Amino acid sequence: MIKIGIVGGSGYTGGELIRLLLGHPEAEIAIVTSRRLSGTPVTDIHGHLSGLFDLTFENPSPEEIASACDLVITAVPHGAAMGIVPKLLESGTRVVDLSADYRLPVAVFEATYARAHTDPGRVGGEVDDQGAVFGLPELHPEVAGARFIANPGCYPTGAILSAAPLADAKMVEYAIFDSKSGVSGAGVEPSDTSHYPNLAENIRAYNITTHRHLPEIVQELGRLDGSLTSIHFTPHVIPAIRGILTTAHLLLHEGCDSGPSSDYDTILELYREFYKDKPFVRVRDYIPNLADVRGSNFCDIGLAFRDNRVVVVSAIDNLVKGASGQAIQNMNLMFGLPETCGLLTPPLSP
Amino acid sequence: MIKIGIVGGSGYTGGELIRLLLGHPEAEIAIVTSRRLSGTPVTDIHGHLSGLFDLTFENPSPEEIASACDLVITAVPHGAAMGIVPKLLESGTRVVDLSADYRLPVAVFEATYARAHTDPGRVGGEVDDQGAVFGLPELHPEVAGARFIANPGCYPTGAILSAAPLADAKMVEYAIFDSKSGVSGAGVEPSDTSHYPNLAENIRAYNITTHRHLPEIVQELGRLDGSLTSIHFTPHVIPAIRGILTTAHLLLHEGCDSGPSSDYDTILELYREFYKDKPFVRVRDYIPNLADVRGSNFCDIGLAFRDNRVVVVSAIDNLVKGASGQAIQNMNLMFGLPETCGLLTPPLSP
Amino acid sequence: MIKIGIVGGSGYTGGELIRLLLGHPEAEIAIVTSRRLSGTPVTDIHGHLSGLFDLTFENPSPEEIASACDLVITAVPHGAAMGIVPKLLESGTRVVDLSADYRLPVAVFEATYARAHTDPGRVGGEVDDQGAVFGLPELHPEVAGARFIANPGCYPTGAILSAAPLADAKMVEYAIFDSKSGVSGAGVEPSDTSHYPNLAENIRAYNITTHRHLPEIVQELGRLDGSLTSIHFTPHVIPAIRGILTTAHLLLHEGCDSGPSSDYDTILELYREFYKDKPFVRVRDYIPNLADVRGSNFCDIGLAFRDNRVVVVSAIDNLVKGASGQAIQNMNLMFGLPETCGLLTPPLSP
Amino acid sequence: MIKIGIVGGSGYTGGELIRLLLGHPEAEIAIVTSRRLSGTPVTDIHGHLSGLFDLTFENPSPEEIASACDLVITAVPHGAAMGIVPKLLESGTRVVDLSADYRLPVAVFEATYARAHTDPGRVGGEVDDQGAVFGLPELHPEVAGARFIANPGCYPTGAILSAAPLADAKMVEYAIFDSKSGVSGAGVEPSDTSHYPNLAENIRAYNITTHRHLPEIVQELGRLDGSLTSIHFTPHVIPAIRGILTTAHLLLHEGCDSGPSSDYDTILELYREFYKDKPFVRVRDYIPNLADVRGSNFCDIGLAFRDNRVVVVSAIDNLVKGASGQAIQNMNLMFGLPETCGLLTPPLSP
């Protein structure tokens, strides 16, 4: 059994890690940490798991965590991860980090998150084998050999997967990602955004040209097509707890709409071929929605084509494929397990 | 024109007072106060009223407010009202207070709200004509001559009106009010209760035997039937912004179910007769719901009868009939206007 | 492996049976029937299960179903079950029926559902060992030896479990169940009730004294306390997909509030003792809500006590503990498996 | 008083026409028709208006309607309007038609709605003064002299207003409208789309390249800038009863991002100038949302600017500015009343 440590387990991603790992046949949770809640039974916070999980929040040192765990998943705020990840790695354990700290080149990170990076060497893999691998397994086979994964952001996961096949085919000239997210992505702390009277019967566009997840999208699509730089991203919060629906408006290069890729079937086939060995991406012949994937690690994709615009719609559960589920998918690959091991929890629908 | 002051105008009840008074032909708002926001345009906070309302939040003394206003509506927290109401009344203006400070006898208030009452003389009308009248106009005709109104709580408004006709007929032995409220009653400040992931797709029972609105219900039904003391109240929060649906389970005295009042039509007629001159109570021949009254000052009532139990369902908008609208209804009566003046805003449905 | 047939698999309960059985280590689905959809892949209808389940809807005869299955779960409308269940049982398979056809004595059924019973012999167990057992395992240990189970209604499951310990202690004089249900209980077919503009931001009381689930509640509590006949039930639909919260207002016999059972701790202990060996009932020290049980087979219970009234709140997922999950719980017991086998799916929260 | 006839008054737009006209000082409703419901009191269907409105649904001939009314508002399905509008106009009354029948050139209409046009002469104003004027008053001053108005679709209203100032300035090269609508636009009839379990906690993209409202958007923006033809439209349904939020991604011509219009303030000022005399368009310095306009005739607009992309967000109530309110706005102008007469109903927020 792989022994798992969860650092920062009191939030939604912590709860989801526990929920999902409870059904994993090859992993068991050894430690769940919380500075604030040390000594409190985990199910006092995650009440829905009562009777299913017995651990108590602890607050051990990174070294103690590392010595007790084969893998540590860090679910701490941006900026906090780079304070603990080096100690964990240096103590010999493996790490999947859910924060943004290791996803971007240092300069981009510092510009985007307005803080200095204190562990720049591990970004980009310069410290031997401990450099961070961007943990989107569908695009990064090197996850399999990694000791340290930077788990992608929730929006980037849905956006990148929606456009990757066309980007890989060098067909996209201009990409606009218009995303609609459930509010759990904002965390457990009440805020004006999550205040029910502000969100119910409503939808809110925010950071409409400046959201911090844009650089991840640019980076990953740029790896597939270096000439694709016109990428825009506008997020919205909708009255939903879970899920991100991304509507990708992809304008194709001139000529792409009149060549062999010009019909719906051809483009759908391009997607099917691209994702044929990716068990968590389901290319659909209809437009998927959030209920198709709720609670599961799937990313469902559907599309339409008109003139030179392909509209691709992807649906994920932001807490699963957008965070905790993807972390476990990465874990499976890191430890040589089948990618889907313990992770085929069916979606909850209706 | 009646000049109105709103003390504490930054919350939901403040916004609703402005929304409703904008359509009132005989009243105009002279002052809106907020200590915290003094100097800020009101529509910076109540953005939906932009272009319709020009005042800026001020922070004048009670005396200044009183000298500028014919009526002051105080929308401040429990405990704060008794600090300002005396000064307003002594300066010669009239007052409708939305807080709980003057609704209950001093001893009951102090036990319920766990604080000392600093203005006990005005509770129960001992200070000349300045004693508080309980502002439920359907039961308190003395509102018409009052200078000071204690506006009822939102839950009590719906609960009392659902049971008053049967209580007045001395038919009720046992009353259980099971109420379901939208979350706007908890105010504009985000909290765990109003956090969307906690409330959506959910319902929460709270203070299930101990809610502070119970004494108001007991007091008012007790005025109609002194022997009716078995009164219970359990509130819930539902995924709705506005509205309170109260399901009143009224167990009748033995014999009531076999006499002349034993059939549905007779009891419905009892309700219609009781409320025949009350323009804001609509007795329905079906079970009403929140959409029937959303945004309006109506209280809709429907019922069913079986064995010795009458089940009455009342629907109100908690921010209107349960607060700001009822305050204006009281104002109309205090100033000799028709009860419905400027207050027949149609409900918003769907 | 236990081979399972699902008769009438296109609705929500069918989808849930598949979702839950996909994770069951000792059962596999052999047949899913639908007259209307025969020949259609099951995942064309239950799209969320795409990639996880390969069967196609079929329309075989009852005899064919019986010969291929160790257990058949019938998820067909009230009145239709009694047309197929006899053939299934006579062909030698076991049956769990989700309909109301076999839950009540014939006379009560016929009065409640306004139709003649065509298989009266199996109600009450008069046909050898093929008589229906009421499948609420927490109260009916005889489920373990049964060949035919009448699975309870969703509302009765939550209501009965909320009151059973006090009823068993002969303490209840009067019981009022005020229940609030998600709308999935009304099925997959769109209706005025499920029309989003009618349900969102709303709550609807319906059949407030006459709901057809009342006789099940009366029957089961009556088994525990023959003198308890004053039982009332009022259902509501709330803006939620899943879940039933039942607020049980239990008026105790005179004296019960002053004796040894008069305090909260004693009553809570009574509940804990009653359910100590029931793995799916979680007695909580707070008031549970729907998120605590969403997607799971748990029934969570919390309570408060004041004067002579105990208010008990139970929360279930109506499609799981209120239908498909309970069917699998019954299956586990019928086949000698651990009661929780394959059924400890953690709740989905948030 | 202007006498109004409402043809087809049983749906949501009919209910809204009545709600809004109840507060109009210069108009009164003379007739409300419904073939199916003739003889039924209007408030049996629009229960929320009980006590406020006394008419009964009728089924008179077009001539009878015309003789009793100064203006008839037709709220009937697409295709049905062209069967009744000619008779109304020929009988001498004026008409505002809410259907799509007269919004588009005949050929475009027939291609889009897949039916022949039976009254082609009135499209484009070929029948004297009875030709249809596209009733978006902010762009069509000729509404003031019109006898016949084709009221725009709900999506086009929000989309066109979001882009008109930049289109009028000939700055837009490519326009993508990503719209999110409440479900009331789909009408009162329950459907799979409006089924609560399908819509709650979800969002659905539909007709993502083919929606029938696209030609209206193309037509109206083309009037402002004949060279602007790259226009795309993707609608979504969100869990909301009312409202449409349109996120307009407007790619500017090369050079527009480096000239005098290149900063946020300049573009905001362009919008303010364009709408300075349009009382129902509120240009905001933040991103508006649906609560800002709920129940009102306002269209709120906010925007951001980055590189060569302007993202404009507009919010309307689809039943008011997107249908019934705009019809009354047109009426006011047709009859020489102030544009806002009776139509400044404040939004309902929260």
**pLDDT, tens digit, 9 for 90 and up, residues A145-173:** 899 999 999 999 999 999 999 999 999 99
Decide if pLDDT at B260 tops 90. no
Q: Report the pLDDT value the prediction gives residue A221, as an integer from 0 to 100.
A: 98
Residues B44-54, mean pLDDT to the nearest whole number: 98
For chain D, the C-alpha Rg in angstroms (whole number) is 20
Give dist(CA A171, CA A311) in Å, integer: 13
Please report the sign of the dihedral spanned by the C-alpha atoms of residue C112, residue C116, residue C118, residue C122.
positive
Q: What letter would DSSP give residue D281? A: E
Q: 10 Å Cβ neighbour count for D145?
A: 11
Cis peptide before C197 (omega within 30 of 0): no
**DSSP for A99-142, written as a single string:** SSTTTS-HHHHHHHHTS--S-GGGTTT-SGGGSPEE--TTT-GG
Mean pLDDT, residues B134-139: 98
What value does the mean pLDDT take over residues D194-214? 97
* Residue A102 covered by a domain: yes
Does B22 reach chain D within 8 Å, measured CB to CB? yes
> What is the Cα–Cα distance from B65 to B60, expressed in whole angstroms?
6
Please say if the pLDDT value at position A260 is more than 70. Answer: no
Predicted pLDDT at C127: 55
| pLDDT of A246 higher than 80 | yes
Asked if residue D224 is part of any domain, the answer here is yes
Cα–Cα dist D291/B184, whole Å: 14
8 A C-beta contact, residue D130 and residue D122? yes
Which phi and psi (to 5°) does residue A325 adopt?
-65, -45
- Alpha carbon C55 to chain centroid, angstroms: 26
Element (H, E) at B266: helix B264-274
Residue C304: beta bridge partners? C311
Instruction: Identify which of D310, A231, D253 has the alpha carbon closest to the alpha carbon of residue D302.
Output: D310
In three-state secondary structure terms, D329 is helix
pLDDT at B255: 78
User: Do both C263 and C165 map to the same domain?
Assistant: yes
Better-scored residue on pLDDT, D58 or C255: D58
- Residue A137 domain-assigned? no
Task: Tell me which residue in C191, C192, C239 faces D200 most closely, judged by beta carbons.
Answer: C239
C336 assigned to some structural domain: no
- A242: which chain C residues are within 8 Å (Cβ-Cβ)? 350
pLDDT at A254 (0 to 100): 85
Which DSSP state fits B320? I
User: Looking at residues B84-108, what average pLDDT do you find?
Assistant: 97
Provide the pairing of β-strand A148-150 with A133-134: parallel
CA distances from C36 to B43, B323, C57, C68 (A): 57, 53, 9, 21
Q: Within this chain, do residues B247 and B313 fall inside the same structural domain, yes or no?
A: yes
Q: Output the pLDDT for position C258.
A: 58
Q: How many helices (H) and strands (E) does chain A have?
A: 10, 13
Flag whether pLDDT at B74 surpasses 60.
yes
Same domain, A48 and A165: no
Whether residue C124 has pLDDT greater than 90 = no
- A&B contacts, CB < 8 Å: 50
Please judge whether C200 and D12 are an interchain contact, meaning their C-beta atoms are less than 8 angstroms apart.
no
Which of A258-285 are b and which e, b meaning 16 or more Cβ less than 10 Å from the residue's Cβ? eeebeeeeebbebbeebbeeebbbbbbe
Q: Say yes or no: A106 and A197 in one domain.
A: no
Asked if omega into D60 is within 30° of 0 (cis), the reply is no
Q: Give the Cα-Cα-Cα angle B138, B233, B167 (nearest 5 degrees).
A: 40
CA dihedral A151, A154, A160, A161 (to 10 degrees): 90
Check pLDDT > 60 for residue B261: no
Cβ pair C19:A346 closer than 8 A? yes
SS (H, E, C) chain C: CEEEEEECCCCHHHHHHHHHHCCCCCEEEEEEECCCCCCCEHHHHCHHHCCCCCCECECCCHHHHHHHCCEEEECCCCCCHHHHHHHHHHCCCEEEECCCCCCCCHHHHHHHHCCCCCCHHHCCCCCHHHCCEECCCCCCHHHHHCCEEECCCHHHHHHHHHHHHHHHCCCEEEEEEEEEECHHHHCCCCCCCCEHHHHCCCCEECCCCCCCCHHHHHHHHHHHCCCCCCEEEEEEECCCCCCEEEEEEEEECCCCCCCCCCCHHHHHHHHHHHCCCCCCEEECCCCCCHHHCCCCCCEEEEEEEECCEEEEEEEECCCHHHHHHHHHHHHHHHCCCCCCCCCCCCCCCC
pLDDT in tens, D307-339: 889 999 999 999 999 999 999 999 999 999 999
Give the residue numbers of C marked as catalytic: 154
Q: Is residue A335 part of a domain?
A: no
Residue D19 lies in a domain: yes
Residues A350 and C184: beta-carbon distance below 8 Å: yes
Instruction: Tell whether the model's pLDDT for residue C259 goes beyond 60.
Output: no
D130 — pLDDT class (breaks 50, 70, 90): confident
Average of per-residue pLDDT across A108-115: 97
Same domain flag for C309 and C162: yes
Residue B125: what pLDDT?
A: 57
Please give the pLDDT value at position D256.
75
Task: Report how far residue D277's alpha carbon sits from residue D265's, in angstroms, rounded to the nearest whole number.
Answer: 19
How confident is the model at residue A210, as a pLDDT? 94
Percent of chain A with pLDDT over 90: 93
In the predicted structure, residue A255 carries a pLDDT above the cut 80: no
- In this prediction, residue C159 carries a pLDDT of 98
pLDDT of amino acid B206: 97
What are the C-alpha distances in Å from B90 to residues B105, B120, B148, D156? Answer: 21, 15, 11, 57
At A164, list the tokens.
Answer: 């990757």
Is D162 found in the same domain as D101?
no
D166 and D305 part of one domain: yes
At residue A111, what is the residue type? A
C21 within some domain? yes
pTM of the shown model: 0.97
| Side chain identity, residue B160 | I
Q: d(Cα C251, Cα C249) in Å, to the nearest integer?
A: 6
- Reported as a single tens digit per residue, the pLDDT across C27-60 is 999 999 999 999 999 999 999 999 999 999 999 9
Interface test with C, best of D192, D196, D198, D318 (most C CBs within 10 A): D196
User: Is the predicted pLDDT of residue B56 greater than 80, yes or no?
Assistant: yes
Residue D222: domain span: 155-318
Which chain C residues are within 8 Å of A346, Cβ to Cβ? 18-19, 22-23, 48-49, 52
Percentage of chain B beyond pLDDT 90 is 93
Q: What is the DSSP string of B193-206?
A: TTBHHHHTT--EE-
The answer to whether residue C301 sits within a structural domain is: yes
User: B130 falls in which pLDDT band (50, 70, 90)?
Assistant: confident
Task: State the pairing for strand pair B299-306/B309-316.
Answer: antiparallel
Residue contact D188–C195, C-beta within 8 A: yes
- pLDDT of the residue at B322: 98
User: How far is the CA of A151 from the CAs of A75, A101, A139, A339, in angstroms?
Assistant: 10, 10, 13, 15
Q: pLDDT-derived band of residue C76, with 50, 70 and 90 as boundaries? A: very high
Contact residues for D111 (Cβ-Cβ < 8 A; gap 6+): none
CB of D194 within 8 Å of a chain C CB? The answer is yes
**Distance separating alpha carbons of residues D163 and D275, to the nearest angstrom:** 12
Q: Is the pLDDT of residue A127 over 70?
A: no
What distances in angstroms separate CA D307 from CA D192, D283, D310, one per listed residue? 41, 22, 8
Six-digit token string for D157: 């209203």
DSSP string, B62-104: HHHHHHH-SEEEE---TTTHHHHHHHHHHTT-EEEE-SSTTTS
- pLDDT of residue D189 exceeding 70, the answer is yes
Per-residue model confidence (pLDDT) at position C257: 63
Count CA atoms within 13 Å of residue C82 on its CB side.
22
State what percent of residues in chain C have pLDDT above 70: 97
Domain check: are A169 and A56 in the same one?
A: no
pLDDT in the model for residue A263: 86
Give B223's Cβ-side CA count (13 Å radius).
Answer: 12
Question: Å from D46 to nearest chain C CA?
Answer: 12
Q: Does one domain contain both D296 and D168?
A: yes
Tokens standing for residue C341: 């086998």
Instruction: Calculate ∠ Cα A133-A135-A139, nearest 5°.
Output: 100
CATH of residue A304: 3.30.360.10
- Chain B residue with Cα closest to C287: B205
Average pLDDT of span A133-142: 97
Evaluate if residue A126 carries a pLDDT over 60.
Answer: no
User: Does the distance separating the beta carbons of D282 and B51 come in below 8 Å?
Assistant: yes
Could you tell me if C275 and C195 lie in one domain?
A: yes
- Convert the pLDDT of each residue in B1-25 to its tens digit: 999 999 999 999 999 999 999 999 9
Q: Is residue B159 within 8 angstroms of chain C, CB to CB?
A: no
- Give the residue with greater pLDDT, D13 vs A128: D13
Contact D161, D216 (CB under 8 A): no
CB atoms within 10 A of CB D226: 9
Query: Is residue D125 located within the same domain as residue D160?
Result: no
How high is the pLDDT of residue A256?
A: 75
Q: What is the DSSP letter of D47?
A: G
pLDDT at res. C126: 54
pLDDT for position C130:
78
Interatomic CA distance for residues B274 and A321, integer angstroms: 59
Count of Cβ atoms closer than 10 Å to residue B84 Cβ: 23
Q: Say whether both B70 and B207 belong to one domain.
A: no
How far, CA to CA in Å, does A298 sit from each of A303, A325, A342, C242?
17, 9, 13, 22
Condensed to tens digits (0 to 9), the pLDDT of residues D255-291 reads 776 555 568 999 999 999 999 999 999 999 999 999 9
Question: How far, in Å, CA of B225 to CA of C299, rounded?
Answer: 40
Q: For chain B, how big is the Rg over CA atoms in Å?
A: 20
C192 lies within 8 A of chain B by CB: no
CATH number, domain of C27, equals 3.40.50.720
- At D259 the pLDDT is 56
Q: Which of A230, A141, A119, A236 is nearest to A181 (CA)?
A: A236
Query: In the structure, what pLDDT confidence band is assigned to residue C256 with cuts at 50, 70 and 90?
Result: confident
Classify residue D110 by burial, with Cβ atoms within 10 Å: 0-12, 13-18, 19+: middle
Q: What is the pLDDT of residue D140?
A: 97
Q: Which of B208, B290, B304 sits opposite C201 (nearest CB)?
A: B290
DSSP D183: G
Domain total in chain D: 2
DSSP state of A158: H
**β A281-283/B148-150 pair status:** unpaired
Flag if A190 and B188 touch (Cβ within 8 Å): no
Instruction: Give the whole-angstrom CA distance, residue C27 versus residue B274.
Output: 62
Tell me the nearest-neighbour CA distance from A137 into chain C, angstroms.
19
Chains near A (3 or more Cβ pairs under 8 Å): B, C, D
